[in-house]
Amino acid sequence: MAVPAIRIDGLTKRYGTSTALCDLDLEVEPGEVVGYLGPNGAGKTTTIRLLLGLGRPTAGRAEIFGLDCQRQAVAAHRRLAYVPAEASLWPSLTGDETLHLLGRVQGQVDLGYRAELIGRFALDPTKKVRAYSKGNRQKLLLIAALMSRPELLVLDEPTGGLDPLMEQAFRHSVGEARDRGQTVFLSSHILSEVEALCDRVAILRDGRLAEIGTLAQLRHLSALTVEATFDGVPPDLTGVPGVTRAIVDGCHVHLQLQGPIAPLIEALAGTGLRGLLSREPSLEELFLAHYGAADDELTRDHVPVGVSDGDGDRP
């Protein structure tokens, strides 16, 4: 059995009386792309800092490819690269000099790939770091991490400040890494990014793991969004087994359905039903559902009636 790329066991971090991370267990297999979600202050960055040995855990342990993140940090760091959310680099060095320095400290660089990445991210490496915009500094960090072709990429909200074109370049680069068998641990607030890139998603809440699984597994556990249109006044569907949060809007009904769809189909028979659309929840809806977003937000933010999101459609 392969050694997990990341193994976290009962990891806890307290700052004084406040608990940033509580008894976290998590495993990431080699070659997986795992999204790590959670609102501000949920403990995502704390997890990453403990993984990198930058912080000391209050309890529990973490391993990277079987190497203890605290005691064997140097050996673990040889096999990973990290991109932080905030780019803090030496303002007097140029982009080229920064990449040279970080490559030498890392100990391995694919020079051809480095040049390719500089072109892909359209970075001018002759400029000094202090002259870079926030987005360009972030590109520099991405290139510095990707150019060493590490076995594990730890990315903490890595695309802050990137324009949509560079966001695409980032997705392309992560896709390449995945295709080469590299593992990616991606903490992000951009849910579409996580949805597009990740095999599995872990959702953190108040320093605890609230949910983990593939998107399909998470969707399976969640409610289906159903939009029904009628010729006249819609029937009362609140008593139908599994139906929750039914909202009537003229001749339209928006509802959430948990469990089998058959009782609802039976209830709709002979009610003047003109159209029926159903879809699985988006990652955003799953995420919001986990954090107790208001019902009306859930119903307001979904795709418009009559538009479906592909394979999520059901009859």
Partner 1 sequence: MLATLVARRAVRSGALWGLVFAVFIVVQTSAYTSQYTTRAARAGLARAYGTNLGLNALLGQARAINTVSGWAEWRFIGILTILGSVWGLLTATRLLRGEEEAGRLDLLLVGQTTRGRAAIQATAGLGAGLLAMFVMVAAGTIIAGSRASVGLSPGHCLALSAALTSGAAIFLAVGALVSQLASTRRRAAGIAGALLGVAYAIRMVADTNASVHRLIWLSPLGWIEESHPLTGHNLSPLLLVLVLTMTTAVAACWLARRRDVGAAVLADPDASAPHDRLLGDPIGLAVRLMRSTVAAWLLAVAAFAVLIGTTAESAASDRSGSSGIEQSLSRLGGHGSPVADYLGLTILVVALIVALIAASQVTAICGEEADGHLEALLVRPLRRTSWFAGRAALSILVLAVAGVVGGIGTWAGAATQHAPVGFGTLIAAGLNVVPPALLLFGVGALTYGLRPRVTTRVVYGYLAWSSLIELAGGLVKVSHWLLDTSVFFHMTPAPATKPDWTAAAVLAGLGIAGTVLGGLCFDHRDLQNA
Gap between the Cα atoms of 181 and 33, Å rounded: 10
Q: Which residue's CB is nearer to partner 1, number 100 or number 252?
A: 100
Q: Which residue's CB is nearer to partner 1, number 54 or number 267?
A: 54
- Are 257 and 224 spatial neighbours (Cβ–Cβ below 8 Å)? yes
Gap between the Cα atoms of 131 and 141, Å rounded: 15
Q: Near partner 1 by CB under 8 A, which window of 87-95, 189-197, 255-263, 285-293? A: 87-95
Tokens 């140097």 belong to 74
What binding mask, one character per residue, do residues 95-134 give for partner 1 by CB under 8 A, x or -?
-xx--xxx-xxxx----------------xxxxx-xx---
Q: Which residue's CB is nearer to partner 1, number 84 or number 234?
A: 84
Tokens of 204: 């953190």
Site for partner 1 in 205-264 (CB under 8 A): none
Residue 61 interacts with partner 1 (CB under 8 A)? no
From candidates 59, 75, 111, 307, binder to partner 1 by CB under 8 A:
75
Instruction: Report in angstroms how near the CB of residue 232 gets to partner 1 at its nearest.
Output: 55
From candidates 92, 181, 232, 269, binder to partner 1 by CB under 8 A:
92
User: What does the angle CA 288 – CA 177 – CA 47 come to, to the nearest 5 degrees?
Assistant: 45
Instruction: Report in angstroms how near the CB of residue 171 gets to partner 1 at its nearest.
Output: 23
Tokens of 275: 């159209």
Gap between the Cα atoms of 224 and 281, Å rounded: 6
Q: Which residue's CB is nearer to partner 1, number 18 or number 88?
A: 88
Instruction: Report in angstroms how near the CB of residue 239 gets to partner 1 at its nearest.
Output: 55
All residues at 6 or more sequence positions from 270 whose CB lies less than 8 Å from its CB, including other chains: none
Tokens of 86: 């905030």
Query: DSSP label at 305?
Result: T
Residue 17 interacts with partner 1 (CB under 8 A)? no
